[in-house]
Amino acid sequence: MHSEMLLSIGELARRTGVNPITLRAWERRYGLLKPQRTAKGHRLYPQEQVERVQAILSWLERGASVSQVRELLERPPSVAPVGDWQLRERALIEAIATLSQRTLDQQFNQAMALYPAFTLCEQLLLPLLDSLEQRWRSYFNARLEQAFFHTWLRSKLGARIQHDSLALPGPAVLLTTHGDGTFDPHLWLCAWLLGNSAIAVEMLEHPLSAPCLHRAVQALRPRAVVLYLGTRIDTHTLKAMLTGMGVPTLAGGGTVFLHGQRLAGAELEGLQLFDTPLAALRLLQQSS
């Protein structure tokens, strides 16, 4: 096979959206990939390995765990597989309940090494946030767990968001909030997901007035603005923000279902709505 028909691990990562660290883990720990090697030991991937990565991603998106994928590729079952996502979620909740930052880090790092960010977000992290929200409605120790988890999440994802954004070329997406200004883990999850999808991010976590947001847009020249909505919004203020913005604008988050009808009736021209970080990513990818 001619060398020009082979892909480096960096090019394979670019084409498939799977981090090189994850590609190497799939090869070493699970034997899912079999690259060729140069005389110096560098990995080279033929087209069939590109197709294999796509098949792996397909199984992961259907809920399989990475430990199941090899058998699934060889002998596809007649029913959908049951992955280990619930076990991973319970382990994360246990680490939060015991305020164990070390365990939480280890569990999160292990999952990040094995799964693409999109799959990890869909199968583990969004369900985790839903489970925590339900748990904290009645749990006596909710405030302490919230403080621990939110502090850890901001620190953990913030460092990765900054690292990814500094390494990415081109204009960034500006993420900020609109509403009551309470901490929203979905905002940070969205920023992390965008960075892992090769979209640079600028974060302004606290709500901005319309003039401040317009000055930020003029200074940063973002490719788009993403507004995370709180539980209370003012459509008049939001309309003032959007007037003369000059860049694509998305608004949404976990509470978008509360505001959908009001936003639709407010004649906010050009505003696109989303409910999850995954949906925000898809909209940004479609507009690029």
Nearest-CA neighbor of 180 among 205, 201, 157, 153?
Answer: 205
d(CA 80, CA 60): 11
pLDDT digits (tens, 9 = 90+) for 165-214: 888 888 999 999 887 777 889 999 999 999 988 899 999 988 888 899 99
Overall fold of domain 3-74: Multidrug-efflux Transporter Regulator; Chain: A; Domain 2 (1.10.1660)
Q: Are 148 and 113 in contact (CB under 8 A)?
A: no
Reported confidence tier of residue 3, pLDDT bands at 50, 70, 90: very low
Residues with Cβ within 8 Å of residue 187, at least 6 apart in sequence:
175, 177, 205, 228, 253
Domain 159-287 in CATH: superfamily? Cobalamin-binding domain (3.40.50.280)
Strand partners, 273: 251
Tokens representing 42 are: 């560098």
DSSP state of 159: H
Distance of CA 58 to the CA centre of its chain: 17
d(CA 135, CA 52): 39
Q: Give the burial class of 53: count Cβ atoms within 10 A of its Cβ; 0-12 exposed, 13-18 middle, 19 or more buried.
A: buried
DSSP state of 64: -
Q: Are 45 and 7 in contact (CB under 8 A)?
A: yes
d(CA 69, CA 276): 27
d(CA 213, CA 265): 23
Burial 31-42 (b: 16+ CB within 10 A, else e): ebbebeeeeeee
Neighbours of 224 (CB within 10 A): 22
Residue 1 has pLDDT above 50, yes or no: no
d(CA 45, CA 8): 6
pLDDT (mean) for 62-67: 86
Strand partners, 229: 178
pLDDT (mean) for 85-91: 92
Computed on alpha carbons and rounded to an integer, the radius of gyration of the chain in Å comes to: 21
Reported confidence tier of residue 99, pLDDT bands at 50, 70, 90: very high
pTM for this prediction: 0.81
pLDDT digits (tens, 9 = 90+) for 7-19: 999 999 988 889 8
